[in-house]
Amino acid sequence: MVRSLRQGVLIDPPALDASLDSLLPEFEATLISAGLYADEAHAMLESWKDSWFEEGARLIYVVPRTFVDGILPLTIQPAPSNIQRVFVGRMELLTPATEKAIETAAATHDQATLAKYGRFLAPMIEAILRKSPESRRAKELGETLIDTYNSYIAQNQLR
């Protein structure tokens, strides 16, 4: 975990031998140190379990309060004695290992593996294709992308 970032940082990939439940206490402590009450931090993480901690790699960060106040000024009348604003951002990361897993699954029509990436599969495939539109697996990826979009359309039409 990086506590302060000024100009940039290189981070080694974490060991993939920990469970989500073993990682949440440190994340919860980070949210508390940013200004949330313990119950708020815990509830926030519980609500994210089904959507923020899916298959894949991501960068989760607390947005500095000065930045938030600069772009989203807040005025409350009458003024409260204290205001805490904690904004958390998430950025999906497309690692070489994830690229390889998606390319292999697309080539072998491994729907179970592709399904693990959920709503992130389409943008991940698009990113892979942007980097290597003429790659040997571009055809399979393109077909998988079309299938993924068609599946999303069918799911949304049922609602």
Q: What is the DSSP letter of 64?
A: P
For 11-32, how does the pLDDT look when each residue is reduced to its tens digit (9 = 90+)? 776 677 777 888 889 899 999 9
Residue 138 CB: number of other CB atoms within 10 A? 16
pLDDT of residue 108: 87
Query: Are 2 and 9 spatial neighbours (Cβ–Cβ below 8 Å)?
Result: yes
For 128-157, how does the pLDDT look when each residue is reduced to its tens digit (9 = 90+)? 888 877 777 777 788 887 877 777 677 766
pTM (whole model) above 0.85: no
Half-sphere exposure of 92 (CA within 13 A, CB side): 19
